[in-house]
Amino acid sequence: MPKTLLIIEDNEQNFYMMRFLLENKGFKVIGAENGRLGVEMALKHVPDAILLDIQLPEMDGYAVAAELKKHSEIDNVPIIAVTSYAMVGDREHILAAGANGYIEKPINPDTFVDEIANFIASD
C-alpha cells in the first residue's frame, strides 16, 4: 500500500511539482490550499507525512504545525516544512512550532523525494 502524503501548499505550481515528483515514486498525494483546510485534511486522512508551506492563507504554517501537534491521533505524523522562508531563525521557528524537518524552496527535483522518504523511514 503506498504511503499517503498531505501537501499543504497554496501555490499551484509548487503543489504540482511536488505531487508530480512524489507520485512518480509511488506515493499517494492529497492536497490542501490553505492552512485551515490542511488541518481538516490531516485529521480526516491521517497521512504518513505532511508537507507544509509556511506562508499560507487562513492559517500560516506555524499555526498549522502547532494545531496539528495538539491532536494525539496525528501527533506522530512527521511534518516537513517546505518553504522559501530561509532567513536566520526561520528554521528554528518552524521546528519550535512542531515541524520535524525543513526543506528550502526551490526544491531540488533530484533529491526531494529522497529527503521526504528519509522523514517517513525515520518515523
Query: pLDDT tens, 53-112?
Result: 999 999 999 999 999 999 999 989 999 999 887 666 788 899 999 999 999 999 999 999
pTM above 0.75? Answer: yes
The set of residues, in sequence order, having a beta carbon less than 8 Å from that of 52 and lying 6+ positions away, is: 8, 38, 61, 64, 65, 79, 80, 81, 82, 83, 99
Out of 6-10, 24-28, 74-78, 89-93, which region has the weakest mean confidence (pLDDT)?
A: 89-93
CATH code, residues 4-121: 3.40.50.2300
**Cα 29 from Cα 6, distance rounded (Å):** 6
Please determine, for residue 122, whether its predicted confidence score (pLDDT) is greater than 80. Answer: no
Please determine, for residue 123, whether its predicted confidence score (pLDDT) is greater than 50. Answer: no
- Position 89 scores a pLDDT of 78
Q: Is residue 95 classed as helix, strand or coil in its secondary structure? A: helix
